Structure 1
Amino acid sequence: MVSFDHRQPGTPELTWANSKQLRAVPELDLAGVDRAVVFAAHPDDETLGAGGTVHRLIRAGTSVRVIVATLGENSHPNSPTHTRQSLSRVRHQEMADAVDVITAGSSAPEYLALPDGGLTAQALTDPVSEAVAWVAQGRQPLAVVTWVEDGHPDHEILAAQVQQAAGAAAVRCVQYPIWWWHWGAPHKLPRGLVHVPLSNEDRDAKQQALEHHASQVRPLSEQPGDEVLLGPHILEHFERDREHFILSAPHQTPVFNRVHSESEDPWNVDSSRYEHRKRDVLIASLPRELYPRALDIGCSTGALTAQLAAHVGMLTAVDASDVALGKARARLTKQGLKNVHLRHAVLPGQWDPAWTELDLIVVSEVGYFCSAEQWNELLSLCTRALSPEGHLVLCHWRHPIKDWPLDGDDVHREARRRRNLTRLVAHREADFEIDIYARTQRGRS
């Protein structure tokens, strides 16, 4: 375990207990969740990270499956009293007893019995796909898993598989940290951190369940190699009146295909005064009247695309939703606009290397549908694709974005940190923000 000192000279020690940032994270909305699947890499992960939340869901009538990938047989590799086989049997029963408590007897855990410390994507693909397909049948499904950046290989491999499968099925996915509480910094929280408040009943169930994981919360024996693994200094992180999760960024294609299929105009782009005024302000803010080559990222049904087309020689408009692109094509055809090429792509992963030397790139109302890592990559790709005199336009709603890791302020804040971008235009008001950048020329700071 790595020790971190978060103190600054002359300042009091910053701890999780007095972290204002931690207390201020938003609440995860669990209203209406009718199916949930909870994945654990090892027995006790489910109780430590999500035991109280599972109990809360069960009390609300949610159908919950708990799946554990390994039996944790390597928790005490130097034990003089237990072999791996005997420890796997112990932990198998401990998890059965713990899950019986947090699910109030309504669900038994499902054991994949894969090697502890040796999880692979190949071994996880089928069971994860089956469980996600089951939960996706709910009206408000939820997938819960260990965190993809937790610092333990098993936690991260499992999380990556579940995140990918849930995203492709348009299932909301949240991830719970375990080891991050020990190496993370109270003043530097992960993007997309949310919390679930726990009642006294939920907390009591979680504590009772933890007691059943006796091989982890108490020594196996007094002999060397049988030491306690989850001592008081570790358990204190899981005794709070809330549990914390990190929102996963869903796969944009299934999410937005569904959104655009359920409503002809899901964002009210043709009727909302906000939408009309925002587009007019963006167009009026462009430093140049005409841009020979441009890229419109996240074009949706093409309302902004149609206005940009009047100021662009050739415009490529990109969206992750085929349904939205169909509506954009109909709009552009109706208006007789022939200088726009529509393209399906999920960015940044499907960025076209041919998008270079662009005179204008517009990223409007789409940055917060990325993870923090995806947004960083997309910003870098956009910056490199600009011509020397090109402009990058960012325009985003400034209010909270439900169930996505980022919001508009996060998106624009990250761009302002870039030393290779120089901001030319800054427009901020209560509802939206527009920033326009040029590539920083040599000699500038």
Structure 2
Amino acid sequence: MAMTTSFDALTHGAPLVVLAPHPDDESLGCGALLAQAFAAGTGALVVCLTDGSASHKGSRRYPPSRLAALRRRELEEAVLRLGGTPRDILWLGLEDARTAGNPRIPAVIRLLCRTCQRLGAGSLFATLETDPHTDHKTAAAIAEAVAARVGLRHFGYPIWTRWQRPDFRADLTGWTEHRLPPGPHAARKRAAIAAHRSQLEPLIDDAAVSFRLDPGFVEDLSTGPELFFERSR
């Protein structure tokens, strides 16, 4: 079941937390949601799970530590463009693409439980469990555990499944689909996505394996409604 929703219906006026596997997922999947939260003053926190250091493997100019620092700066700029501040970011810095079985995950869950309780958060948004990337699946599992312990509404937002698998909803029986139009926050969302230059432009040109977001994918997520899936209880 799908329905067009509103910011108030999703949050009920309480602070929200967005768990992003990598710097850029927060803007691609939840940019309009975050922009509205910052504009409304209800409070929002962006939690970045990994350091994003695996997007350009083999670069001498941008080895993992330098790339992680660049991506952290890009995340801070994106949040600023959405109306937030660096204080609205919790950078966890786990190694990109290596979260499966990471021994730090239980500590991350405990930290996020305390953080959500301190903020008085009412909802937690994380990548949808159908996304194929291991870090996206880890983020989904962390969010499910935190939401169950703290008593939060848990929403999954699709990134790669939205683009690569038009039939992904077939795996989501028993989930409710909420569609949030970007509305007046579309420009802020587009600007936030553009802040992640390393993922959009040939900024790092010496990598053995280089990643770049497909322009059509970026356009789809920039202009279309944000999708949030909530498991029926």
Q: Does 1:54 align with 2:34?
A: yes
Q: Which residue of 2 aligns with 1:329?
A: none
SS in 2 for 1:30: helix
Q: Which residue of 2 aligns with 1:27?
A: 5
2:192 paired residue among 209, 223, 237: 209
Q: Which has the larger radius of gyration?
A: 1
Q: Which residue of 1 aligns with 2:72?
A: 92
Q: Which residue of 1 aligns with 2:227?
A: 244
Q: Distance in 2 between matches of 1:34 and 1:173?
A: 14
Q: How much does 1:138 deviate?
A: 6.3
2:57 paired residue among 52, 74, 77: 77
Q: Distance in 2 between matches of 1:222 and 1:106?
A: 29
2:151 paired residue among 167, 170, 174: 170
RMSD over aligned CA atoms reads 2.5
Q: How much does 1:106 deviate?
A: 7.3
Q: Distance in 1 between matches of 2:49 and 2:119?
A: 23
Q: Which has the higher contact order (CA 8 A, sep 6+)?
A: 2
Q: Distance in 2 between matches of 1:181 and 1:134?
A: 29
Q: How much does 1:64 deviate?
A: 1.1
Q: How much does 1:182 deviate?
A: 2.5
Q: Does 1:196 align with 2:180?
A: yes
Q: Distance in 2 between matches of 1:212 and 1:115?
A: 22
Q: Does 1:68 align with 2:51?
A: no
In the superposition, the TM-score normalised over structure 1's length comes to 0.47
Runs of 4+ in structure 1 off by over 6 angstroms are none
Cα distance change of structure 1 residues 225 and 25 upon mapping to structure 2, 3 Å threshold: farther
1:117 paired residue among 92, 97, 100: 97
Q: Which residue of 2 aligns with 1:155?
A: 136
Q: Distance in 2 between matches of 1:127 and 1:187?
A: 28
Query: Which amino acid in structure 2 is aligned with residue 213 of structure 1?
Result: H
Q: Distance in 1 between matches of 2:81 and 2:127?
A: 20
Is there any run of 5+ residues in structure 1 with no aligned partner, and where? 1-20, 250-367, 370-445
Q: Report if aligned partners of 2:23, 2:71 keep a CA contact under 8 Å in 1.
A: yes
1:352-391 alignment runs, 5 A limit: 369=233
Q: Distance in 2 between matches of 1:87 and 1:65?
A: 23
Q: Distance in 2 between matches of 1:238 and 1:178?
A: 8
Aligned residue pairs total 227
Q: Report if aligned partners of 1:34, 1:138 keep a CA contact under 8 Å in 2.
A: no
Cα distance change of structure 1 residues 103 and 173 upon mapping to structure 2, 3 Å threshold: farther
Q: Distance in 2 between matches of 1:148 and 1:187?
A: 11
Q: Which residue of 1 aligns with 2:218?
A: 235
Cα distance change of structure 1 residues 169 and 231 upon mapping to structure 2, 3 Å threshold: same
1:146 paired residue among 114, 127, 138: 127
SS in 1 for 2:141: helix
Q: Report if aligned partners of 1:32, 1:140 keep a CA contact under 8 Å in 2.
A: no
More helix by share: 2
Q: Which residue of 1 aligns with 2:110?
A: 129
Q: Report if aligned partners of 1:33, 1:140 keep a CA contact under 8 Å in 2.
A: no
Q: How much does 1:160 deviate?
A: 0.4
Q: State the percentage of identical aligned residues.
A: 25
Q: How much does 1:134 deviate?
A: 3.4
Q: Distance in 2 between matches of 1:135 and 1:108?
A: 13
Q: Report if aligned partners of 2:55, 2:211 keep a CA contact under 8 Å in 1.
A: no
Q: Report if aligned partners of 1:33, 1:139 keep a CA contact under 8 Å in 2.
A: no
Cα distance change of structure 1 residues 224 and 128 upon mapping to structure 2, 3 Å threshold: closer
Q: Distance in 2 between matches of 1:106 and 1:86?
A: 19
Kindly provide the CA deviation profile for residues 388-444 of structure 1, in whole angstroms up to 9, marking residues without a partner as x: xxxxxxxxxxxxxxxxxxxxxxxxxxxxxxxxxxxxxxxxxxxxxxxxxxxxxxxxx
Q: How much does 1:33 deviate?
A: 2.8
In the superposition, the TM-score normalised over structure 2's length comes to 0.86
Q: How much does 1:234 deviate?
A: 1.9
Cα distance change of structure 1 residues 223 and 122 upon mapping to structure 2, 3 Å threshold: closer
SS in 2 for 1:37: strand
Q: How much does 1:164 deviate?
A: 1.5
Is there any run of 5+ residues in structure 2 with no aligned partner, and where? none
Q: Report if aligned partners of 2:109, 2:145 keep a CA contact under 8 Å in 1.
A: no
Cα distance change of structure 1 residues 93 and 220 upon mapping to structure 2, 3 Å threshold: same
Q: Report if aligned partners of 2:158, 2:227 keep a CA contact under 8 Å in 1.
A: yes
Q: Report if aligned partners of 1:80, 1:225 keep a CA contact under 8 Å in 2.
A: no
